Structure 1
Amino acid sequence: MNKISIIIPIYNVEQYLPQCLDSIINQTYKNLEIILINDGSTDNSGKICDNYAKVDNRIHVFHKKNEGVSSARNLGLEKCTGDFIGFIDPDDFIELNMYELLYNEQQKTNADIVWSNYCFYYSLNKKIPGEITSNITYNLFNIIEKNNFYSDLFYKYQMKAYLVNKLYKKELFSNIKFPYKKTFEDLFIFIYLISKAAKISFINKILYYYRQRDNSICNQNNTHSIFNPDMIEAYIKSSIDYKYFSGNNRISNLLLFNTYLYTLKNILFYQQRNIYQLEEKYIISQLKLLLKTNIPLKNKITIFRIAYFPNLYRKIKLLRHPKLIKK
């Protein structure tokens, strides 16, 4: 039976950490290596980690100074010794058979990544399920299945880059590091990571509960009053990676269009323009290049307005939050 290393970066989550750890140590799949990276917590999170390690010898605790979730996950990757890797955020929790089901699917399909459904968890009475609606395996060595996967990734799975509801072969993370002191760190590596996979399997079971709380890092950085350069940079990199690995096609051009439009909207409306003049010029230059691609005419008209009549376009408030364009 192969060993699964589960990496949990931890920072000031004493309220939620016991539920998270209980859901891991009580997994029906027993051959686990549980790596807890205490990233300089100032509450009782570090003590909770140490107490759990005393009663379960599968738990290994590493205390470090606070450098952010990317640094913590990178340390976990350095320390892990398993054949497979899973990630869990410390304020979330999982079904008790999650890793048994993921592992069994991996053994059946030999997938490099096994991907379960998840649930946004607000309370016992409010849960919103994720996008997976069927069991399916994509063989990315087959050009038709590869094209189907990248199309489904855009349309069906809405480019969700969560690390946490998946099981990975360890070798996928060779030469991959999370960007230091960046938020939205999973989005930075997501497309490059899945591009290394030969086969990806999906399970239509809700196995991961992604807790939604107002004071989380991502929710703080997602507020409309805050311009987050990390988020913008991650979206652009992910979109460019998608275009590189999926090919120059209508979907990749639509994704780039939506990404640049969203970025330009943030630059124009959420900050003083004189701070971000270089970024605006870069975005407009990229939008001009998109004029030459095979995106729909209505998108080309939007690009033309942005690139050549930005002041008019801004005044009549046509810059809106982009939505993924349906088939």
Structure 2
Amino acid sequence: MRIANTHMPLVTVIIPAYNHEHFVRECLNSVEKQTYSNLELLIINDGSVDDSNRIIEEWIVVQKRQWVRLKYIQQENQGLTATLNSAIIWAEGKYISPIASDDILCEDKIELLVKVLEDKGASHAVAFGNAMFIDESGRAISKEILDSKGNILDRHTLFLNYYAYGRNLAWSNPAVFGSYCSLLSGNYLPAMSCIINTEAIKSVGGWTAKNTVEDWELWLKLAKNYKFILVDKVVALYRWHDNNTSKTKRERILRDSIWLLEKEREYAMKSKLHRFFFPLYLYNLKRLREVNPREAFVKSLRLLKDWEFYYYCLSKIKQKLIV
């Protein structure tokens, strides 16, 4: 049993649980084993229809850690973003540590990240570590980087290394890591490996309902006003299984990615970030063409009326002429 150290800030661990009966106990055990003592735990069962509820209730009865507060909420399914927005209202911690109910925290995750955020002060809203990929059995795996023809270019076992691959992104540079322009060209940050200042989340309005790229949206919002910091160490395990790559989920993520970029367009253009915005937007339109050619055609027509797009094209032409 750990006695809470009230000299350190309270951290709320948030677990949105949904149909992870095979993984939720391991997730909960990893939270219980945290070396950081001043913790509250908020578990929200978002309408699971499997055996998750029984497993969570059994775990609550037998676990022996002393929490500042332990709250278990059962609700009808509302979706992840609605659940997270509710959790922010209920959370009492200065920081939150969100973790999906199929992922795992390393024992020192919260202790490490709280220390660096406290040292940095109010200018920094989020601290990250890296995450390692694991399979359904909890074994470390590597994810393949493929070219357009399906040839293997590289393999990576770590989240940041995998998602930043090929982007000419110096993410280990503190000036680059978590910057708005680096995030405008795509998300590469592991949500399971972070802690976030609770008031900072509230100040940017939390998450948009039903959005499937909720992490990316939050990072973009926060990056306009705050800095992020990286601890170059694995602090969580990210489980990769069939549901991560379902066709329906990929299409929803694609459409929400386009929606988010369109939402960020005005700010990006005012900030003269054309070279970060348009390459990803055009790439997503190309992917949308494979799913819905008509929808992609309509969006492409709008680009032809967009003076900012012409500005981007002219800058690319000038760049090639100079080279």
With structure 2 as the length reference, what TM-score do the two structures score? Answer: 0.75
For the pair 1:113 / 2:120, whether they are aligned, the reply is no
Provide the residue aligned with 1:13 in structure 2. Answer: 20
The 1:8/1:295 distance shift into structure 2, 3 A limit, reads farther
The 1:15/1:230 distance shift into structure 2, 3 A limit, reads same
The 1:61/1:229 distance shift into structure 2, 3 A limit, reads same
Structure 1 position 226, deviation (Å): 7.3
Q: Deviations over 1:13-71 (max 9, x none)?
A: 01111111111111000211111111100011122222233335543111111121011
Q: Secondary structure at the match of 1:13?
A: coil
Q: Secondary structure at the match of 2:211?
A: coil
CA contact (8 A) 1:93 1:210 kept: yes
Cα distance in 2 for residues equivalent to 1:161 and 1:282:
31
Structure 1 position 11, deviation (Å): 0.7
With structure 1 as the length reference, what TM-score do the two structures score? Answer: 0.75
Return the letter of the residue paired with 2:141. K
Q: Secondary structure at the match of 1:126?
A: coil
5 Å matches for 1:154-303?
159-175=187-203, 176-197=205-226, 199-216=227-244, 219-221=246-248, 223=250, 228-238=254-264, 241-242=267-268, 247-248=271-272, 252-273=273-294, 278-286=298-306, 288-293=307-312, 295-297=315-317
Cα distance in 2 for residues equivalent to 1:153 and 1:271:
26
Identity of aligned residues (%): 23
Structure 2 stretches lacking a partner, 5+ long: 1-7, 143-156, 162-169
Q: Secondary structure at the match of 1:285?
A: coil
Bigger mean CA deviation after superposition, 16-25 or 107-116:
107-116
Q: Secondary structure at the match of 2:160?
A: coil
Cα distance in 1 for residues equivalent to 2:252 and 2:210:
18
Cα distance in 2 for residues equivalent to 1:31 and 1:65:
30
Structure 1 position 272, deviation (Å): 4.3
Cα distance in 1 for residues equivalent to 2:207 and 2:305:
29
Provide the residue aligned with 2:75 in structure 1. Answer: 64
1:4 to 8, 11, 19: 11
Structure 1 position 182, deviation (Å): 2.2
Return the letter of the residue paired with 1:164. M
CA contact (8 A) 1:118 1:206 kept: yes
CA contact (8 A) 1:134 1:203 kept: no
Residues paired across the two proteins, number? 282
The 1:299/1:185 distance shift into structure 2, 3 A limit, reads farther
Q: Deviations over 1:176-197 (max 9, x none)?
A: 2211122112222321122232
Return the letter of the residue paired with 1:297. I
Structure 1 position 200, deviation (Å): 2.7
The root-mean-square deviation of aligned C-alpha atoms, in Å, is: 3.2
Q: Secondary structure at the match of 1:14?
A: coil
Structure 1 stretches lacking a partner, 5+ long: 139-144, 302-327
Return the letter of the residue paired with 1:255. F
Q: Secondary structure at the match of 2:232?
A: strand
